[in-house]
Chains A and B, each alone.
Chain A
């Protein structure tokens, strides 16, 4: 019942996003879409996925899209011609996809291949082989460590892509200017600033909790990285990009992003050199279980570092681009803010 309600709401929101001309509202709806799918995942008992979806889909991606909207403007361009070929292509692709799903086992059916040998293996043996209560983490970080490595590399590549496309030579601003911007912002955002100052340490603490509690409950490197980055982004939004750049050196952050991937990869290399397979943590220590724990801890740490720093880098570059744009045409900007 609740599945049907949630899925109906998802469809309604998807249609609303398509019909919406106001980009701001569309992004807002996309955030709601993310939150709804997160609750859908909770209903399906996939708490880890729901956690990621809530942090990424409803949180960070919405925020990044807002940053982009401040640069592009709120209104969608009106399209004169009717995009009939596009509709044709979409209908054909969609039809093929639906035709493809006909061969798949029914939703939740017992004799689906995945329920026959993969899942029981994980559920039965993960406690003896890995020794951590959260099976999702043991699947993600140990059984399928190579897949997760691929995911981390994808995120890292996204960071590099944003850097190559948007990276700009920053003009050095003098301290007085920073001070004046800071003062004007202090007047504007007094309440939010004080609340944020109170909350940011706790957000960091929560991120670390999620990072290291991933073995026992929902959480792990991906979620923790996003939460960590969101605290830094909150700081950058309220105290100005220049101040945030002073606190957090971007070169340093880029280095950490690379180091996270390196740490992950080198865990695999070390297990190779100790005579096991790539990402076989059993050989990391004399006791296989301890080796597994050590391996999972290290690679989660690598994932967390990479995710957090890549997101911070993306935000810094997006927002830096925006600041540059505003700097170029301050008169126009003043009028639009009125």
Chain B
């Protein structure tokens, strides 16, 4: 039993850390704002979730477990919301995703029409 717990939590922690690191690499390497945000937003939610799950398996105290569950719920709510808000704010302020010419044209039309 002991070894199952250790191995499974170790696996979860490892995968979670890997996801967080890959999100960090994505943040540095991806070409434009939206892909970068996507890399961090998605991997951070899953990575943090997996790390928390790994810690939950390890925890023996019920209070610690409950606190970890609360942190997990909080991250699950907050992570996607912040990504959403960031993307929305960026789009609102005219950041165009790379390689989407259609969107660019419509956006330009919109802005010219609104100025007139």
Q: Are chains A and B native binding partners rather than an unrelated pairing?
A: yes
With both beta carbons as reference points, the residue of chain A lying nearest to B81 in the complex is identified as A195
CA distance A56 to B77 in the complex (A): 23
Task: Write the chain A residue with the least CB distance to B94.
Answer: A338
**Is B114 close to A, CB under 8 A?**
yes
Specify the main secondary structure of chain B where it touches its partner.
helix
Q: Which residues of A contact B85 (CB under 8 A)?
A: 191-192
A338 to B110, CA, bound (A): 11
Q: How many residues of B contact A (CB 8 A)?
A: 9
Which of B77, B94, B114 makes the CB contact (< 8 A) with A199?
Answer: B77
Query: Which chain A residue lies CB-closest to B114?
Result: A338
What is the minimal beta-carbon distance from B39 to any residue of chain A, in angstroms? 20
Residues of B within 8 A of A192 (CB): 81, 84-85
Kindly state the separation between the CA atoms of A338 and B93 in the bound complex, as whole angstroms.
6
Name the residue on B nearest A196 (C-beta). Answer: B81
Residue A89 is within 8 A (CB to CB) of chain B in the complex: no
Q: In the complex, what residues of B have CB within 8 A of residue A165's CB?
A: none
A321 to B78, CA, bound (A): 30
Q: Which residues of B contact A199 (CB under 8 A)?
A: 74, 77
Asked if A96 lies at the interface with its beta carbon under 8 angstroms from chain B, I say no
Chain B residues within 8 Å of A338, by CB = 94, 111, 114
Contact A198 B111 (CB under 8 A): no
- CB 8 Å contact bits of A185-221 with B (1 = contact, 0 = none): 0000001100100110000000000000000000000
Residues of A within 8 A of B74 (CB): 199
Q: Which residues on the A side are within 8 Å of B81 (C-beta)?
A: 191-192, 195
Minimum C-beta distance from B58 to chain A (A) = 21
| Cβ–Cβ < 8 Å partners of A198 in chain B | 77
Q: Which residues of A contact B (CB under 8 A)?
A: 191-192, 195, 198-199, 338
15 A-B residue pairings within 8 Å (CB atoms):
A191-B81, A191-B84, A191-B85, A192-B81, A192-B84, A192-B85, A195-B77, A195-B78, A195-B81, A198-B77, A199-B74, A199-B77, A338-B94, A338-B111, A338-B114
